[in-house]
Chains A and B, each alone.
Chain A
Amino acid sequence: MQNTNVAYDSKVEGEIIVTQADAVINWIRKHSVWPMPMGLACCAIELMAVGASRFDISRFGMEVMRFSPRQADCMIVSGTVTYKMAEVIRRIYEQMAEPKWVVAMGACASTGGMYRSYATLQGVDRIIPVDVYVSGCPPRPEALLDAMIKLQDKIGRERSVKNLTARNAKPTKEGSLALAGAGKES
């Protein structure tokens, strides 16, 4: 792996240690995802089922659902996003602390779903960067759990230290969509 960050190299000496730092950070992050349930429509009912005992999201270390964006790092957009609500979602997303991830749960959040209409945003990825899309209307709880495991894999593959130093090195323009996704591997 090419590490281009010289300042970091001089401190820790050697690329292999950087990889280990990534591994440690990612390992910590992926087993303590704090989801923020952005329940907007019927999909939210399945999201509740995922949190309940039968499907039990806590098996994957994600049971700490937070209703405050400042305490959460993974927004699960479960439901139909109207244009009126788009603004709210964007603001809540901006309030979440980095690193943060987004799961678009269900057809509506992913593409607008069956709501081809004047009132519905045709996919939440138009306003916030999405990491994992889940198909279904609504997706089965297993599907959401699968998506969360996929998200864990994705977190595990991130170059966290590099992202962190990159973020600290150049302050990002507030609210820019391109840079809001900077914490992610491309």
Chain B
Amino acid sequence: MVESEFAQLKERFDYLSARQSADHSAVNCPADKLVEFFTVLRDDLGYDLLVDVTAVDWDAQSPRFTGIYHLLSTTKHEYLRIAADCENDIKPSLPSLCGVFAAANWHERETYDLMGIHYDGHPDLRRILMWDEYPYHPLRKDFPLAGIEVPLPADDVAEATGVAVLPAPMMGGPFVSSADGPMSQTEPSARDESWTEQEEKPTE
């Protein structure tokens, strides 16, 4: 979006504010104005394709959760990123956009599953990747990559095999690669390889 278009938008919707972005144009929009704003974007401004719905967990900050939307205009060939902060840090919620873009349905289910953001007005807000009874939201910052022990979703299988959902052995990981340097030296490797699941991770 060119500068003038943001100025136009801003004129029409005084609640918008510019958002810093390294690639596409981006705006901040208050959560309660999302549906109205998206309807106008779709109907009047040609942003007709909802590409992605996701969220960011800012960990210790408040507001902790920000919902992120990516729109594409298939006529102008422009992307637009819209961010909306969730007011509540404990039980974050955003209005559902299913009524504006049908594509939002599964995206919102995914974001609910992995980030725990409730989409008010969603017709069928169930988990989509993890099983229904799973108690956590794995992409939140306070969730360890290896996972947390919970029972297997199927009781009879758990009983017959004695298997539970266990934290995965990280074997010194998570594995990181440094961003610069020649490729021969940037193979992903563990920061600290001195521990496995048998040997405790040394505390610094």
Residues of A that sit less than 8 Å from B by CB: 83-84, 86-87, 90-91, 112, 115-122, 126-127, 175-177
CB distance from B174 to the nearest CB of A (A): 8
Complex Cα distance, B75 from A146, in Å, reads 54
User: What is the CA–CA distance of A112 and B171 in the complex, to the nearest angstrom?
Assistant: 13
- Taking the closest CB of chain A, its distance from the CB of B10, in whole angstroms, is 42
Given A84-B131, A90-B161, 12 other A-B residues pairs in contact with their CB atoms under 8 A: A83-B152, A87-B152, A87-B153, A90-B154, A91-B157, A116-B146, A116-B173, A118-B148, A118-B165, A119-B130, A126-B163, A127-B161
Min Cβ gap B173→A in Å is 6
By a CB distance below 8 angstroms, the chain A residues around B45 are none
Residue B121 CB within 8 A of the other chain: no
Counting chain A CB atoms within 10 Å of each CB, the highest count among B131, B167, B168 belongs to B168
Q: Which of B85-110 contact A (CB under 8 A)?
A: none
State whether B163 touches A86 (Cβ < 8 A).
Answer: yes
| CB pair B165 A176 closer than 8 Å | no
Ordered by A's residue number, 9 sampled pairs between the chains whose C-beta atoms are within 8 Å are A83-B152, A84-B129, A84-B131, A86-B163, A87-B152, A118-B168, A119-B138, A126-B163, A177-B160
Question: Which A residues are CB-close (under 8 A) to B152?
Answer: 83, 86-87
Q: How far is the CA of A175 from the CA of B171 in the complex (A)?
A: 32
Say yes or no: A120 contacts B168, CB within 8 Å: yes
CA–CA, A90 to B160, complex, Å?
A: 10
Complex Cα–Cα for A90 and B138 (A): 25
Q: How far, in whole Å, are A39 and B16 apart by their CA atoms in the complex?
A: 48
User: Could you tell me the distance between the alpha carbons of A121 and B138 in the complex, rounded to whole angstroms?
Assistant: 16
What does the 1/0 interface line of B126-168 toward A look like (CB < 8 Å)?
0001110000001000011111100011101100111101111
Given contacts A117-B168, A119-B138, contact A176 B145 (CB under 8 A): no
* Whole-angstrom distance between the Cβ of A45 and the nearest chain B Cβ: 22
Contact across chains for B153 and A84 when beta carbons are under 8 A apart: yes
Kindly report which residue of chain A lies nearest to residue B159, judged by CB atoms.
A175
Verify if B1 is at the interface (C-beta below 8 Å from A). no
- Once the chains are docked, how many angstroms separate the CA of A54 from the CA of B138? 42
B49 within 8 A of A: no
Contacts of B156 in A (CB 8 A): 175
Complex A-B, nearest 8 residue pairs according to Cβ-Cβ distance, in ascending order: A118-B147, A87-B154, A116-B168, A175-B160, A90-B157, A127-B161, A126-B163, A84-B131
A84-B130 contact in complex given A119-B138, A120-B168, A127-B161, C-beta closer than 8 Å: yes
Give which listed residue, B160, B167, B171, B174, contacts A176 with CB less than 8 A.
B160
Q: Does B170 contact A (CB under 8 A)?
A: yes
Contact among A83, A117, A177 with B145 in the assembled complex (CB-CB below 8 Å): A117
